Amino acid sequence: MPAYIESLTTNWFTVSDTSELQALVGRIECEPREGSGETLTVHQRDGQVRLTMFDCLDTRLDYYDDDLDDDVDFVEALVKLLAEGAVLRVTSVSWYKSEVARFMYTVYTADGRSYDMNTMAAESAAAKEFGIPASVLQAF
């Protein structure tokens, strides 16, 4: 059993250069889980794009850039490709040894603003408020 499993999905959004987007997506190595996984895929509709990736084994959402001689975060590089006025919403979930390790919902704007919500923290707060185990909320 792999240690890490990663999933990611976005809203429909616009980018300044779809060929740059395809090149960026090509840098993420993903081995989908047999029978349920999907590599990082670009969907296109009416001039907009959407990214999906489900159940990728031991996948990292960063890559090494020879020109920069450094690691580059995939989502940060994606934000740089946003068209003027575009808004990107990213939902990402990571599992480690079959336990949810991170569940993030983040909104980015083309002008550099962002908002993160750690949904696991929200689940913990809701569980405490309702007096139930957080694991009950994770089952939905």
**Residues spanned by the domain of 84:** 4-138
**E strand or H helix that includes residue 57:** strand 48-57
pLDDT at residue 117 tops 90: no
Q: How far is the C-alpha of 52 from the C-alpha of 50, rounded, in Å?
A: 7
Domain count for the chain, please give it: 1
- Binned at pLDDT 50, 70 and 90, residue 94 comes out as confident
Q: How far is the C-alpha of 31 from the C-alpha of 29, rounded, in Å?
A: 7
Average pLDDT over residues 105-134: 79
- Binned at pLDDT 50, 70 and 90, residue 82 comes out as very high
Whether 132 and 140 have beta carbons less than 8 Å apart is answered as no
Q: Give the pair of three-digit tokens for residue 34.
A: 């047999």
Parallel, antiparallel, or unpaired for β 99-109 and 48-57?
unpaired
